[in-house]
Structure 1
Amino acid sequence: MRRAEELKERTVWKSDPHTQVKHLVYRHYLQCWMGKICQTFPEATIVDAFAGPGVYTDGPPGSPVVIARTFLEHSAYQRFNRLNLICLEERPDRVEELQRQFAKLPKAPKLHISVQPPGKFADQQSRLSALAHRGRAETPVLWVVDPFDLKSAPYSLIRQCLAAPRDEVLFTLFTNELHRFCQREGYDKAMTPYFGGTHWQAAVPERLGRREAFATAYQQGFTDQGLFTGSFGIRISNQSARYHLILATHSEAGLKCWAPVTWKLDRYSGQGASTETAGAPSLFDEASWVVDRLDAALRAHAGTEQRWETLSGQAARLNHTDKHLRQSLDNLAAQGLAFRVDPVRARTAWPEGCTVRFYAPEDVADESF
C-alpha cells in the first residue's frame, strides 16, 4: 500500500524518518518554550490542530504524546504552572486511539489534556481559540498545525491562530509539493489561498532553490504584518527538503527559542535537518569562525553605539543565537571594530545589558603622517 493510501485508509500508520526529525524539532523547541512560558504565566495552552491517533504502528509516539511527554519529563517540571493541551482530530477512529494513548500516561495535575470530539480544524478554529485562551487574551497559546494537505490550512486560518498577542504558530509548509506542482494548470487556485496572496509566484522561477523560496515567500506574509518568523527544512539523507516548519510569533522571545533549535539540529547552516544531521553536535560548539551574514549586519553599525538587546534581537531575526553574536563581536573586537563601552568592568566580554560601539575598517587604518 502506498503511503498516501495508508494515511487515508488506516487508523494508525507506520512512522517515517522525516516525521521523526520533525518531532525532534518539536521537542527541542518545546523544551525552551515550556521552560520560559510555563514558569512565567499561571497557565498556557498548546493546540494540536491535526492530532492524529497519537502513535505509529512501529511504536513511536505521535505529536500529541510527544508534547505531553516533553512537559511531564521537563527538568523544570516542579516549577511549572498549568498547561492545557487541546487536541483536534477529524476521524472518530483516530480520536478513540488518541484517547487510549493518553490513558497510558501518568496522571499529572499540572497537565490538562482535552481531546475534542471529531471535527475539521477550519470549522473548529474559533471555538478552539476561545477554549485555549479561557477568556484571557494574554494567555500564551502555541498552535501546532500539521495538516495532511494544502486545502485544510489556508493562510487565512493560520492568521486567525495569531489573533491574540501571545499566540504562536508552528506550521508545516508543504514545500516539496509546492515545488512539484506549482506550474500545473489551475494549481494557482490552491496556491493563492494557501499563501494568502499571489506573492508565491515570485518563487516559481527559482528552479534550484524553489522550495526554500516558497518558505521565504510564506514567511513574508507574516513579516509584512509585523510578526517574527523562522523556518527549518526537513530533509531525508541528502535529498531536498520535503517540507519546512514555519514559526510565526508576536515576540522576538519566540525566535530566541527557535534559533538554538535550528543550529543544534543543523550544524552547518541552521536552515534544515536530515536524519544524518539531526542531533549532531554543532560546529559552533568548538569552532571559532563566525557566520558571514551576522558579521556583515554588525559591521553595518559602524559609527554608532548599540545596546545588547538590539544586537541580540537582530541576531535572532537572522536565525542566530547569542553565542553566535558573541563570537561575531569577538571577531570584530580583534580587528578593532567593536568595543564594549558600558559597563567598564564586567566578568565577560559581552554581558547582557552592555553597550557596544562599532567602527569602520577605515577608522582603524594605519595612516602615515
Structure 2
Amino acid sequence: MANTTSIIWPLEPHTEIKHIILRRYLNSWLPIISRYHGKIVYIDGFAGPGEYSFGQDGSPIIAIKAVLDHKFKLGAKIRMLFIEKEEDRCKFLKEKINKIQPPSNLDIEIVCEEFRNIIDSILKTVEENKKNLAPSFVFIDPFGFSGIPLGLIKRIMQNPSCEVLINFMYGDINRFLDLDDNEVHLTETFGTDEWKNAPKNDPNKRLEFLHDLYKKQLKSFSGANITFVNSFMMKNKSNQTSYFLFFGTNKIEGLEKMKEAMWRTDKSGNFEFSDATYRPFQGVLFEDKPRYSELKIIILEKFKGKTISSKKLGDFVVTETSFLRSHYKIPILRKMEKESPSQIQVSNRKRKGTYPDDSIIKFL
C-alpha cells in the first residue's frame, strides 16, 4: 500500500486495474439505467483528491469522464456525489473538478465529511418521506475497514435499482483481526461476530473463510440481503491479497455487465490480479482462454437428463458460475450437438447450430 498521508500519492497497479473495472462497468451501466430512469445517482464514498502523483485520474475524474466521453447520449439527469473526509484532499478535488465544464444534465457535488454520516443522512430523509433513492451506483473504497457497516449497505440496497462496489480491505482485516480494539469495527463490518471463528494457523483457509463470510453476509436476509454478489481479488507486489472488490446488485443485468468487465481484466476467469506479475509492456504469447471443459462439466452435472430453455441455461451460467452468457452456446452446445451421437436435442429454433433464448435444450 502506498503512503497515503500526503494529499496525492503514487498509483499502484492494482488500483489502476480497479479503476479500469470501474470505468468499464460505468460505460455499460450509464446508458442502460438512463434509458429507463429520468434521474440516476453516482456516489463515491471515499473519493480522495481525484489525482495521483504522476497526474493519473482518480476515481471521481474517471466517473465524470465516463459521462463526458460516453459514445451514447445520456438523457437522464445525473447527480454525482463525491465524499471525502480529509479536508486537504477534499479541497484539492474541488479545485480539480471546478476546471471541468459539465453538461447541463450533470450535477456534481463534493462534500467534506464521513461517508457513513452523509449516507445515513440521505437514507434517513428518504425513509422518513417513505420514498426510494433514485437508481444509484455507490462506490465504497476506503483505506481501512471501519466506517462501512453492513447495516448501512443493507439500507442502500433496500432501494430498487441500487448497486454497490465495495473494497473489502482483507489485508488490513487480516493484520488486525486479533486486536481487541477492532472487535466493534469488525462486527459492524461483517454484521456478525462469526469472524471470530476464522482459522488462526492456516493463512489460505483464513482468507477463504473471511471472504466467504463477507459474501454470505452481503447475500443473506439477515445481512445486506443482496441477490447477486461477485468478487475480484487484488494482490500487492509481494503477491499477498490486499483486498477484494465485492459487487452487489439485485438485477441479473448488472451482474452480467460487471462480470463482463471483470473477465476483460482477467481473461482466465479467476477474477484476480497481482502487482507481482503485472507486465504492462510485455507481450503475451498465449492469451488466457475460458476453461470451456470446466463449464461443460458444471452444466452436465446440473442438467444431464433434463430439459431447459436456452435463456434459463444462460441465466444459470451467469448467476451460478464464474462464466459469461457468451461462453455456453457456440463453444459448448454447438460442439455437443455435433458429437456422434449428439449429446443434446434442440427444439423450437429455425436454424441448426443456433440457440435463441426460447429454444429448448435437452441434455441426453
TM-score normalised by length of structure 2: 0.85
The correspondence of residues 223-238 of structure 1 with structure 2, limited to 5 A, is 223-225=219-221, 226=225, 227-236=227-236
Q: Following TM superposition, by how much is the alpha carbon of 1:114 offset from its aligned partner in structure 2, in angstroms? A: 1.5
Q: How far does residue 107 in structure 1 lie from its aligned partner after superposition?
A: 2.7
Summarize the Cα distance change of 1:50–1:288 in structure 2 as closer, same or farther, 3 Å threshold. Answer: closer
Establish whether residue 120 from structure 1 lines up as the match of residue 123 from structure 2: no
Please say if residues 49 and 144 of structure 1, whose CA atoms lie closer than 8 Å, have aligned partners that are also in contact.
Answer: yes
- The equivalent residue for 1:73 is 69
Which residue of 326, 329, 333 maps to 1:329?
333
SS in 1 for 2:20: helix
Between 1:345-354 and 1:124-133, the stretch displaced more is 124-133
What residue is the counterpart of 1:168 in the other structure? 163
Counterpart CA distance in 2 for 1:321 and 1:283 is 24
Deviations 1:236-268 (CA, angstroms, capped at 9, x unpaired): 457133111001111111111111112111122
Q: Per the alignment, in what secondary structure is the counterpart of residue 161 of structure 1?
A: helix
Identity %: 21
Contact in 2 for aligned 1:265/1:277 (Cα 8 Å)? no
Which residue in the other structure is 2:314 paired with?
312
Offset of residue 132 of structure 1? 9.1
Cα shift at 1:66:
0.7
Q: How big is the shift at 1:285? A: 8.4
Cα deviation for residue 313 of structure 1 reads 1.8
Contact 2:309 2:357 in 1 (8 A): no
Q: Does 1:265 align with 2:270?
A: no
For 1:282 and 1:294, the matched residues in 2 are separated by: 27
Match of 1:355 in 2: 360
- The secondary structure found in structure 2 opposite 1:300 is helix
Of stretches 273-282 and 220-229 in structure 1, the one that deviates more from structure 2 is 273-282
Q: Cα 1:277–1:216, aligned 2, differ >3 Å: closer, same or farther?
A: farther
Change (3 A) 1:185 1:126: closer
Paired position in structure 2 for 1:211: 207
Please point out which of 4, 8, 13 is paired with 1:7: 4
Structure-to-structure mapping, 1:20-59, within 5 angstroms: 20-59=16-55
* TM-aligned CA distance change 1:120 to 1:213, over 3 Å: same
Aligned: 1:220 with 2:216: yes
Cα offset, 1:28, TM superposition: 1.3
Is this contact kept in 2: 1:132–1:141, CA < 8 A?
no
Q: Residues 219 and 229 of structure 2 are in contact (CA less than 8 Å); yes or no, is this contact kept in structure 1? A: yes
1:19 paired to 2:15: yes
Give the CA deviation at 1:320: 1.7
Match of 1:363 in 2: none
User: For residue 327 of structure 2, what is the amino acid of its counterpart?
Assistant: H
Question: Which whole-Å CA distance do the structure 2 matches of 1:68 and 1:357 have between them?
Answer: 47
> What SS does the aligned partner of 1:303 have?
coil
Map of 2:93 onto structure 1:
98
Helix, strand or coil for the counterpart of 2:328? helix
Partner Cα distance (1:347, 1:79) in 2: 39
**After alignment, is 60-69 or 179-188 more displaced?**
179-188
Q: Distance in 2 between matches of 1:283 and 1:230?
A: 29
Partner Cα distance (1:309, 1:279) in 2? 40
Structure 1 residues 352 and 236, CA gap change in structure 2 (3 angstroms): farther
Asked whether the equivalents of residues 11 and 53 of structure 1 are also in contact (C-alpha less than 8 Å), the reply is yes
Number of equivalenced pairs: 352
Worse overlay, 185-194 or 25-34: 185-194
Unaligned runs of 5+ in 2: none
CA shift, 1:72, in A, is: 1.3
Given the superposition, is the C-alpha separation of residues 201 and 308 from structure 1 closer, same or farther in structure 2, using an over 3 Å criterion?
farther
CA distance, structure 1, for counterparts of residue 51 and residue 281 of structure 2: 22
Q: Return the match for 1:339 from 337, 340, 345.
A: 345
In the TM superposition, what is the alpha-carbon distance from 1:169 to its structure 2 partner?
0.6
Q: Structure 1: state its 5+ residue gaps.
A: 360-369
Q: TM-score, normalised by structure 1?
A: 0.84
Residue 255 (structure 2) aligns with: 255
* 2: CA distance, partners of 1:200 / 1:297: 33
Aligned-pair distance for 1:185? Answer: 5.2
> Which range moves more in the overlay, 222-231 or 203-212?
203-212
Shift of 1:196: 0.7
